[in-house]
Structure 1
């Protein structure tokens, strides 16, 4: 009987631990708060993030971030998104911490780029990460950095992984220890290691273009 109880408790523990968390529930933004610097001076500006027809929508402007209330480490994040109109810029930030750490706008984090035709690039925002072939993908080493004016972009591994405009893209970000892997529509598009951050909040950007999200799900990893 004791062995059966231990087995049952282990089974329950595994299932609870691996349970998917719907960061976006299709109804509201209760798991998030927004940080939009322009609203400090003008609180009447429109909301940068709304719910529309069951979708989470980044309106693009005023620019800012939608930030998770909770912090996470060791997880798989699944994001399904599409540009609602004209293509443009957006991103998912992982291991986010200090707000407005860069250009008075971006929280300290590692950004996984969603910009049209550049999905899967890493951008270092007062945090750093390494990849293979760093100089090929980041430029001359003397220009590397994590603050204003430095070479913070690390190019992704593939071309043509994104779906045509108007179609839904699936981005999967796996954060485990100091490693971050990114897939776009099933293609491995980035694989970073030695990340200077291993835990933090998750943020979605409003950065000029309207983007719709129908899924933002997080699954804890062992």
Structure 2
């Protein structure tokens, strides 16, 4: 074989291997809906838009959409799925319940939806969903961690910075514990506007962050080692703000 042919085979091999190692970007399913605030206020009978979810670095077996519209997440492998489009200013409603003691999961807002370095999770602002028993199962030198860990913490991750309303280090903790235990449904209403997030847990606003360094990006649902169920996910899109390219996550195919 001549050298140019050998070089061509090498390039083809590298391309094939890189495609196998790259993270999947396939649409897995539709779950939840979105509509604009204008549509909400007009009262017009306009159909909501189904939300499409794209696999980033989980598997088809990680997620199962039930006949009643509930979405099951096994928690393995650790990673995320992302919304097909980016969101800037919006209201998110989602209901969730853990099925395992100490279960861990969450939603990422304003995310770039790509793993950072060796970490399988992306950047963005994490809206924590942690079972109440996590603190009992994760003693530190025999000392029980504070309950602040589990009731709706908000924090920037993987290079995204925020200012906490109720600081616990770099994170913001809820001022009142309103999370229910495993097997019970919890309701989050999340208002995201111009780098500010306010979180309502089971009917009361108890936490928030401001000055997020990234304020437009994808929504991500997290798989983090434990089974969790989601239902009634709805997004109401609000008017855009003055958001620079530096404050916006890169667009993905």
Q: TM-score range by the shorter chain?
A: 0.7 to 0.9
- In the other structure, the counterpart of 2:220 is 203
Q: Secondary structure at the match of 1:14?
A: helix
Instruction: Give the structure-2-normalised TM-score.
Output: 0.64
Higher-RCO chain (CA-CA 8 Å, sequence separation at least 6):
1
Please identify the structure whose Cα radius of gyration is greater: 2
List alignment gaps of at least 5 residues for structure 2. 1-35, 133-149, 240-253
- In the other structure, the counterpart of 1:130 is 163
- In the other structure, the counterpart of 1:154 is 172
Q: How does 1:15-30 map to 2 (within 5 A)?
A: 15=39, 21=48
Query: How many pairs align?
Result: 182
Q: Over aligned residue pairs, what C-alpha RMSD do you find?
A: 2.6
In the TM superposition, what is the alpha-carbon distance from 1:73 to its structure 2 partner? 1.0
- Whether 1:121 and 2:153 are equivalent positions in the alignment is yes
- Whether 1:77 and 2:92 are equivalent positions in the alignment is yes
List alignment gaps of at least 5 residues for structure 1. 1-11, 25-30, 40-45, 139-151
- Whether 1:174 and 2:198 are equivalent positions in the alignment is no
1:212 to 229, 236, 246: 229
Q: Secondary structure at the match of 1:181?
A: strand
- Alpha-carbon distance in structure 2 between the residues aligned to 1:185 and 1:192: 18
Change (3 A) 1:34 1:15: same
After TM superposition, where is structure 1 displaced by more than 3 Å over at least 4 residues in a row?
16-24
Change (3 A) 1:98 1:63: closer
Change (3 A) 1:22 1:163: farther
- Alpha-carbon distance in structure 2 between the residues aligned to 1:116 and 1:76: 23
Change (3 A) 1:17 1:184: same
Instruction: Give the structure-1-normalised TM-score.
Output: 0.73
How far does the alpha carbon of each residue in 1:152-171 deviate from its partner, in whole angstroms, 9 at most, with x for none?
A: 53323222x01232111100
- In the other structure, the counterpart of 1:33 is 54
Change (3 A) 1:13 1:109: closer
Q: Secondary structure at the match of 2:110?
A: strand
